[in-house]
A and B are shown apart, each in its own frame.
Chain A
Amino acid sequence: MTNRTDPDATTLVAIYRRMALIKANDERSRKVIMTGRLVMPYYSPRGQEVIPSAVSANLRDSDYICTIYRGTHDMLAKGVPLKDLWAELAGRVTGTCKGKGGPMHITYPKSGVMVTTGIVGSSMPIANGLAWSSQLNGDGRVTVAYFGDGASNIGAFHEALNLASVWKLPVVFVCQNNEWGEHTAYEKATSAPRVADRAASYSMPGIRVDGNNVLETYAAAREAIERARDGAGPTLIEAMTYRFHGHIFGDTDAYMDPGRKQAAMAADPVPRFRAWLIEEGHAAEAELAAMEAAIDAEIDEAIDYALASDFPDVGELSRDVFAAEAA
């Protein structure tokens, strides 16, 4: 079955590459922390690979994203280089932010990653401003704000969607509904049965998609991004997914129903899409295996590079606080 928005094989394989990279990177991150080679707060995006991979397939390098502490998948999908990312995770001077931001605050403007926030909901008001700059410049750029279902309960979400709609900003709000806001289940915290329904309050389209389905997510993102690029205003996409792990690395996730979690993991979107690509003849097994091996090697190289890099000089404490270094 095909329709006008179905991506071609090259695009599909590129989406898979992002997904495989995110999955492998997550597994390595957990291992590196577990073995004590690196100490950092880590919010696993495992299970949510499809969303930014399919969204980014519709974005240009110059398009902006604002993401959140659970955001390494969003960053990797937007093209943040592994070496720079890992060096930042390791707090090294060669990191994206000289080691001064850390995992919750990756910034990489060269790939359009403008803000990563550790504050729930705060990606959205800032995304509006970036979108406003594109509207003023008439440069056709689109801004994507990523956030979780929990963030749809905070004031910033509502203020931002309202303003984006009133100003018709070229922004796409992508809610990754992983059913959990920290340790609290969606239905215990959220009055609306669907986050997408909240778009109606702000007179913008609200679309719910299966965020673990590449074609569905790709199609919705494509339509929303085109709409934004054409000056027709914002869209709210609610992409349904499931967080495979606890809120933060080290949490026992005892609050998550084991049956539901096992079912989600059994339906892991990454191998599922891989099998589909081969089945549909979009890619050969050997091709994907080679790609995965290359990703593993690239991650190895990035980790080695990060851990061999220098830590920042303590002089950095007085740099970048203001434009002029404090005396």
Chain B
Amino acid sequence: MGNITILEGINRALADAMEADEAVLILGEDVADPEDGGVLGVTRGLSTRFGDHRVRSTPIAEQAIVGAAIGVSLGGFKPVAEIMLMNFTTVAMDMIVNHAAKLRFMSGGQTNVPIVIRTMTGSGFANGGQHSDYLEAWFAHTAGIKVVAPSNPGDAYGLLRSAIDDPDPVIFIENLPTYFTKGEAPESGHRVPIGKASVVREGSDVTVIAYAKMVQEAAAAVEALASRGISAELIDLRSIAPWDRETVLASVKKTGRAIVVHEAVTPFGAGAEISSVIHENLFHALKAPVQRLGAAFCPVPFSRPLEAAFAPDAAAIEAAVAALLK
């Protein structure tokens, strides 16, 4: 099968979905080929192949983009809207939170909004405070929206296909610094169910729960811990909303210890929710309180040493896990 990058996995998923279903559309800033198929080329080739009526570059106008996606989905289509960077979703929050998330409920189930919002983010690229935030908790906190964040090419492909199939709005988070991470190419048509985590590595002493780029950092940490005689189980959550309680609780029940790692800031983050559910369900089985490891509670900084210290990395995860076992 060979190896592909995450970026290629996303591009293939879009192409295969458009090939399989004429209702699938793409819209967003610079997404069509005359505009380079996206600033990083994620949608490159698609407008040439499927026509500029199905792959449309838009003005830089996020409310208009998400509004058009919502409306066209009410008209029977399945749009994939690209909001170039996750911070730009803030400009379209009314459309996402008040409309996409709520129309099914407020209409009593008469309408639904089967849209996907693809958006990239992540620190480590010197993009500073308005181009790098992880805002997944805002969306996970909103009833009616699903949130996924793949960490490898196969999951990127499979989750995006599932997101496009899904009858509800899905925020699909892409990590900019790991776009070119390689992994095994998925089979065409592969699906990763939304809400299903994967156990990346089995272990018996502690459970490390991560998603997106933090899975790669945690994998390195877990490897280092193994050489120190610590057996850590690594769970790639893949879906943040809904998240796979069953897999997480089964693992923590076995290990008795858990740490949740994410690139978003720690307070009120996804880690708080996951930690809380673990405590509620497994209090008596826990050998130590569940830990959270997130970014520093500040805007993403620019200067290299500051940015390097901002988000957790393999060394920080390794240290936090080791401390949990003391």
| A binding-site residues for B, Cβ under 8 Å | 64, 66, 95-102, 105, 107-109, 114-115, 117-119, 122, 124-134, 136-137, 143, 155-156, 159-160, 162-163, 166-167, 319-323
Contact = CB atoms under 8 A, between A and B. Distances in A.
Interface residues of B, number: 42
Contacts of A96: 107-108, 110
Contacts of A159: 59, 61, 63-64, 67
B56 A322 contact: no
A20 B76 CA distance: 35
Given A126-B71, A322-B168, A115 B63 contact: no
B111 A107 contact: yes
Contacts of A130: 71-72, 74-75
Contact of B110 (A109, A118, A122, A155): A109
Interface stretch (B92-100, B171-179, B232-240): B92-100
- Describe B's contact surface by its main secondary structure: mixed
A310 B79 CA distance: 37
Given A99-B108, A129-B79, A163-B68, 6 more contacts: A66-B71, A122-B95, A133-B72, A134-B75, A137-B75, A163-B61
Given A101-B106, A107-B107, A163-B58, A122 B72 contact: no
A162 B166 CA distance: 30
Contacts of B66: 125
A126 B74 contact: yes
A129 B112 contact: no
B75 A119 contact: no
A125 B74 contact: no
B319 interface: no
A114 B111 contact: yes
A115 B56 contact: no
B289 interface: no
B131 interface: no
B287 interface: no
Contact of B99 (A126, A162, A320, A321): A126
Given A122-B95, A132-B72, A133-B76, A163 B109 contact: no
23 contacts: A64-B75, A95-B108, A97-B107, A100-B107, A101-B107, A107-B103, A107-B106, A107-B110, A109-B111, A117-B98, A118-B98, A125-B63, A126-B67, A126-B70, A126-B95, A128-B64, A128-B67, A129-B75, A133-B75, A136-B72, A137-B75, A160-B67, A320-B107
A130 B56 CA distance: 15
B143 interface: yes
Contacts of B110: 96-97, 107-109
A99 B105 CA distance: 10
Contacts of A133: 71-72, 74-77
Contact of B63 (A101, A127, A155, A322): A155
B95 A125 contact: yes
A114 B74 contact: yes
Contacts of A108: 110
B121 interface: no
- Most A CB within 10 A of own CB, among B54, B74, B76, B143: B74
A114 B25 CA distance: 20
Contacts of B70: 125-126, 129
B17 to A, nearest CB: 16
Contacts of B61: 159, 162-163
